[in-house]
Amino acid sequence: MLSLEEVRPAVFVLSHPLVQTKLTLMRDVNTHHREFRNLAQEVATALAWAALRDVHVTQRPVQTPLATTTGYELADKIGLVPILRAGLGLVDGVLSVVPNASVWPVGIYRDEETLQPVTYYEKLPETMPISLCLVLDPMLATGGSAAAAISLVKSRGVKRVKYVGLVGAPEGVEFVHSQHPDVEIYLAALDDHLTPPPQKPGDPPAGYIVPGLGDAGDRLFGT
């Protein structure tokens, strides 16, 4: 049982108790980056099962040791678009579920002054030969990078796009759905809010998810 909860239209939180225990370890500031990376892959695997629950299949005969019966094979061609760099931390977990998926990373970073997305790398084919795309990024904060990546994928002719991340903020969810109301969002947690602009030295930077995980990229790669 996936324990998938629709917390608002087209926003699903995987509330399975094992997912939540792993997420708790990821939140812990004392969790080493190697363990953080392994946990991210495990949660990504669970999220992939949830996000692909309506994937298209076709019937085919299969011979068991005892009889011939009817089985299924995947009909959808699936693509993964991880947003560099942190999105790479989810790829292996999703590929464990759909190992034949194609992977096209895109480089989008958030300008720390304007909080606007800046695309610095993309090599998507002019027409992506897939029927379903999962955009991967651990943190859905302001939503700018996610919305930009989704726009890129749609511009290449993909009609079915979903977002898969670890933790989101309401602000990010609202922004993505203001740009792409048809895109389903799958998370392990929908957190409370984003940090405001700093008022004094020592305040956290603006646009970080609270309580969140911190900087997921730094924690994944030990930087």
**Which residues have a catalytic role annotated?**
110, 114, 215, 218
149/154 Cα distance (integer angstroms): 9
| Burial readout 139-172 (b: 16 or more C-beta within 10 A, e: otherwise) | bbbbbbbbbbbbebbbebebebbbbbbbbbbbbb
Cβ(15)–Cβ(5) under 8 Å? yes
Q: Where are the beta strands (DSSP E) in the chain?
A: 4-8, 11-14, 57-63, 68-74, 78-84, 102-103, 106-110, 117-122, 132-136, 139-140, 160-164, 167-168, 184-187, 189-190, 193-194, 209-210
DSSP 127: S
